[in-house]
Amino acid sequence: MMTDAWNAEQYRDRHAFVFQSSEDLAAEWLRPQPGERILDLGCGSGELTARIAQSGAQVVGVDASPAMIAAAQSSFPAVPFEVQDAHALTFGSEFEAVFSNAALHWMKPLPPVFGRVAAALKPGGRFVLEMGGAGNVQTTLDAVAHATHKLGLPELPPPWVFPTAGELCTGLEAAGMRVERLHWFERPSRLPGEDGFRAWLEGFGQVWLAPLGAEEREAVIREAAEFARPRLWDGEAWVSDYRRLRALAVKTGN
């Protein structure tokens, strides 16, 4: 997962839909209870962590980005936040629940992360997640691939993993969790502003486009936007083709 490429202010200003559209995940899927210990994995700038804390749960937010953790600590000083890499979590049977929204698809490879999550949960503890699923932002992936090919540049492998429902279930079960609820769905997401597509690429694609020089990167963004416009511009705004996976899994065994 990226550790130093995030701009927390830009994230909140231009990409607030990421946490706003998942408020029901925290309320209706997680259902936090007073006194529960809950880990928010990949907490970002902390909005949903703070929302969970309002339930009376004892929540800890962790993220690999120091910039995001600094922003979360500044905005929500009453909630504990820590910089941690999901692949190196050291919690052992400490939490009734682990929550993760829009973060796991950055955490390649996923199997070790699922193992760390299972280790952090108490027996019977639950893992509630939302992440990009198969087909997520496919038009954007196609647009960048088109742009690099047209410009004669090397192919840029995307930094994310977007599993199918079956792949997600297999990974969770291999880590010792039983999947009790699963939902793959389309969620078209508005990218505000005439420059919404560009802002998305600049905000979420920094690592993706990092191998390019400044001029090459600008050329790829322009060409990708031209490719994407007839597919994602609805006449008033950019609407990205988000496909999401949600799951509720329970740790089995002792």
C-alpha angle with apex 214: 208 to 220, nearest 5 degrees?
A: 55
Residues 6 or more apart in contact with residue 27 via CB below 8 angstroms = 51
**Is residue 15 pLDDT above 50, yes or no?**
no
Band the pLDDT of 42: cuts 50, 70, 90: very high
Strand partners, 41: 62
Q: Which two tokens stand for residue 22?
A: 């998942």
Q: Which two tokens stand for residue 230?
A: 């007839």
CA 112 to the chain's CA centroid: 17
- Please give the pLDDT value at position 216: 97
What is the per-residue pLDDT across 187-222, written as a single tens digit (0 to 9) for each? 999 998 899 999 999 988 989 999 999 999 999 999
**Is residue 152 pLDDT above 70, yes or no?**
yes
Residue 207 to residue 37: CA distance in whole angstroms: 33
Closest CA to 117 of 161, 176, 59, 167: 176
Band the pLDDT of 163: cuts 50, 70, 90: very high
- Please give the pLDDT value at position 21: 60
- Please give the pLDDT value at position 254: 62
**Is residue 2 pLDDT above 50, yes or no?**
no
**Judging by beta carbons within 10 Å of its beta carbon (0-12, 13-18, 19+), is residue 92 exposed, middle or buried?**
exposed
Residue 115 CB coordination number (10 Å):
17
- Averaged over 21-31, what is the pLDDT? 86
Residue 154 to residue 211: CA distance in whole angstroms: 9
Average confidence score pLDDT of the chain: 91
Tell me if the bond preceding 109 is cis, omega within 30° of 0: yes
Residue 211 to residue 225: CA distance in whole angstroms: 19
- Please give the pLDDT value at position 85: 96
Q: At 72, is the secondary structure helix, strand, or coil?
A: helix
The CATH fold of domain 8-251: Rossmann fold (3.40.50)
pTM value?
A: 0.91
Helix boundaries (H) for the chain: 8-14, 17-20, 23-24, 47-53, 66-75, 110-120, 138-150, 165-174, 196-204, 206-209, 214-232
Q: Determine what percent of the chain is predicted with pLDDT higher than 70.
A: 91
